[in-house]
């Protein structure tokens, strides 16, 4: 139930931000669409068990340097462990160097299993080629609650995964006037 409340609040805030942005002029010189979408995949190893994650994200680019990213994800562990679904929400600060965009930022992971909620930090780089963006980076998770294996031994609370991302094709800009 908590995850649905969190998703609802995040969606409500996002809709309000979109509505507030309609009056913003496109003459501000921004190079990014206000809203864009991406898909990504990541892989990692947590306490000796490998996993793959699939993500579908929506990015609200407040400026060329500040992005609020919300990404629905599914973690698929190897070895028959249960899958985890959820939402990663992060604030990314970025800088462009020609066609290369580097970013880093903090965030929070909300999961279907509240024992796996976590603080997150992520960093990466994107290469922009026209409307296509290819990216790679790393995400660090620090679980809120202690994790235990089947014998009751406490597991490490830190998790690191590496990801690749692709985006492009379309985005949405808002603004009226010159």
Tokens of 46: 């947590």
155: Cβ–Cβ under 8 A, 6 or more apart, which residues? 46, 47, 146, 147, 148, 149
**Reported confidence tier of residue 150, pLDDT bands at 50, 70, 90:** confident
Task: Render pLDDT for 15-64 as a digit per residue (tens, 0 to 9).
Answer: 443 433 333 334 345 677 888 888 889 998 888 889 999 999 999 999 98
Q: Give me Rg for the CA atoms of the chain.
A: 18
2-21+34-172 CATH pick, 3.90.1170.50, 3.40.50.2300, 2.40.160.20, 1.10.3720.10:
2.40.160.20
Classify 1 as helix, strand or coil.
Answer: coil
Separation between Cα atoms, residue 123 and residue 2, nearest integer Å: 28
pTM above 0.85, yes or no: no
Where are the chain's structural domains?
2-21+34-172
Give residue for tokens 């793959």.
Answer: 52
pLDDT (tens digit per residue) in 79-107:
878 899 999 999 999 999 999 999 999 99
- What average pLDDT does this structure show over 71-81? 91
99 and 124 Cβ atoms separated by less than 8 Å:
no
């Amino acid at each position: 139930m908590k995850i649905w409340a969190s998703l609802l609040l995040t969606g409500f805030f996002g809709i309000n931000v979109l509505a507030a942005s309609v009056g913003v002029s496109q003459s501000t010189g921004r190079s990014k669409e206000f809203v864009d979408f991406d898909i990504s995949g990541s892989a990692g190893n947590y306490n000796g068990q490998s996993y793959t994650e699939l993500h579908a994200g929506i990015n609200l680019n407040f400026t060329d340097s500040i992005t609020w990213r919300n990404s629905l994800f599914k973690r698929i562990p190897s070895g028959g462990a249960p899958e985890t679904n959820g939402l990663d929400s992060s604030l990314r600060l970025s800088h462009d160097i020609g066609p290369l965009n580097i970013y880093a930022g903090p965030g929070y992971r909300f999961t279907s299993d509240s024992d796996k909620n976590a603080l997150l930090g992520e960093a990466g780089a994107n290469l922009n080629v026209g409307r296509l963006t290819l990216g790679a980076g790393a995400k660090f998770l620090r679980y809120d609650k202690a994790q235990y294996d089947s014998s009751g031994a406490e597991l490490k609370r830190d998790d690191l995964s590496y990801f690749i991302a692709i985006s492009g094709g379309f985005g949405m800009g808002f603004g009226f006037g010159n």
